[in-house]
Amino acid sequence: MAGTNRTDENLTEGPAIILVEPQLGENIGMVARAMANFGLADLRLVNPRDGWPNEKARASASRADHVIDAVTLYDTVEAAAADATYLLATTARPRYSVKPVRGPDDAAGQLRTRISGGQKAGILFGRERFGLSNEEVDLADEIVTFPVNPAFASLNIAQAVLLMSYEWMKSGLGEGAAPRFTAPEIVPAEKEILYRFFAHLEGSLDGAGYFFPPEKREVMVHNLRIMLTRAGFSGPELSTLHGVLRSFERQIRIASEKSSTEDGE
């Protein structure tokens, strides 16, 4: 479980995830894992084909045990959604219904607003084979659909839950939300240090005969300095590059001394 911190408290606020007649325990487990990744914990199952509890689900959940242990079972969609005041139905295909249709980010924003106001909310996800029936979609307030390739629009149920769970988490982070961790900031070196590297590099290239023909030296130096300035090297990085140059210079010197010795013989 790379990236998991067992000392952090699990987030539990959020909409109920309602799976309608899920078939495979492995899919239920992957749904639980996706929910745990993004702070959801209320998983409701309507008539799971292989019954419950399901050891394959637990194994596939990759230690999202708090979600698996809290699963609740229902005989009907109506019972599973009974406490919700706002219910979304996920679907990949157009319906005859005239219900409002939202994208996942917009739907997550609606969920966030309503749940923050004290409402209960849920999201319906259909069967692996054919999704939700029209009658089940009719039970929801609105439809949420994903912007997928129309030539290949079918999503695995765990993928669909993952997408909505991600949008739920993102909706609570505000505009320009930062990732969970960032790379250390690289502070560019002072210009004096950069200019010393210019001198070292250009001197080495002079010695290696790089600037040819001589009349193009000024243009070639100009191009090199543009590249090196744009890179924003830090002091330690420039020290590394100095070391690289010294290594090449040392090998050139050894080769030259060896050649001189051989010629003297």
For the domain that residue 201 is a member of, what is the CATH number?
A: 1.10.8
Residue 183 lies in a domain: no
Residue 184 lies in a domain: no
Mean pLDDT of 84-88: 95
Task: For 23-42, write each residue's pLDDT tens digit.
Answer: 999 999 999 999 999 999 99
Residue 176 lies in a domain: no
Residue 180 lies in a domain: no
Give Cα 122 distance to the centre of its chain.
24
Task: For 182-234, write each residue's pLDDT tens digit.
Answer: 678 888 999 999 999 999 999 999 999 999 999 999 999 999 999 999 999 99
- Asked if residue 253 and residue 141 are part of one domain, the reply reads no
- Asked if residue 197 and residue 167 are part of one domain, the reply reads no
- Asked if residue 79 and residue 146 are part of one domain, the reply reads yes
Mean pLDDT of 39-55: 95
CA angle 196, 222, 211 (to 5 degrees): 85
pLDDT bracket for residue 58 (50, 70, 90): very high
DSSP class per residue in 143-165:
EE-----TTS----HHHHHHHHH
Residue 239 lies in a domain: yes
Mean pLDDT of 68-75: 97
- Asked if residue 39 and residue 148 are part of one domain, the reply reads yes
Could you give the count of Cα atoms lying within 13 Å of 253 in the half-sphere of its Cβ?
Answer: 7
60 near 25, Cβ under 8 Å?
yes
Q: Which of residues 119, 141, 171 is at a domain's end? A: 171
Residue with tokens 């090449």: 248
- Asked if residue 234 and residue 203 are part of one domain, the reply reads yes
Residue 4 lies in a domain: no
Residue 123 lies in a domain: yes
In which domain, by residue range, is 232 found?
191-264
Say what the pLDDT of residue 175 is.
57
Bridge-based pairing of strands 86-90 and 72-74 is unpaired
Q: Tally the domains of the chain.
A: 2
pTM of the model: 0.70
Say what the pLDDT of residue 181 is.
61
pLDDT for residue 72 is more than 80: yes
- Asked if residue 195 and residue 65 are part of one domain, the reply reads no
Say what the pLDDT of residue 161 is.
96
Q: Which of residues 126, 141, 171 is at a domain's end? A: 171
**Alpha helix positions (H), the chain:** 25-37, 55-60, 65-69, 77-80, 104-116, 134-137, 157-171, 191-208, 217-231, 235-264
Residue 181 lies in a domain: no
pLDDT for residue 7 is more than 50: no
Task: For 108-143, write each residue's pLDDT tens digit.
Answer: 999 999 999 999 999 999 998 889 999 999 999 999
- Asked if residue 248 and residue 167 are part of one domain, the reply reads no
CATH number, domain at 75?
A: 3.40.1280.10
Report the percentage of the chain scoring pLDDT > 90. 72
pLDDT higher at 73 or 147? 73
- Asked if residue 104 and residue 27 are part of one domain, the reply reads yes
- Asked if residue 64 and residue 97 are part of one domain, the reply reads yes
- Asked if residue 218 and residue 161 are part of one domain, the reply reads no
Q: Which residues, other chains included, contact 205 with Cβ-Cβ below 8 Å and sequence gap of 6+?
A: 211
- Asked if residue 150 and residue 47 are part of one domain, the reply reads yes
Q: Which of residues 171, 200, 232 is at a domain's end? A: 171
pLDDT bracket for residue 97 (50, 70, 90): low
- Asked if residue 113 and residue 46 are part of one domain, the reply reads yes
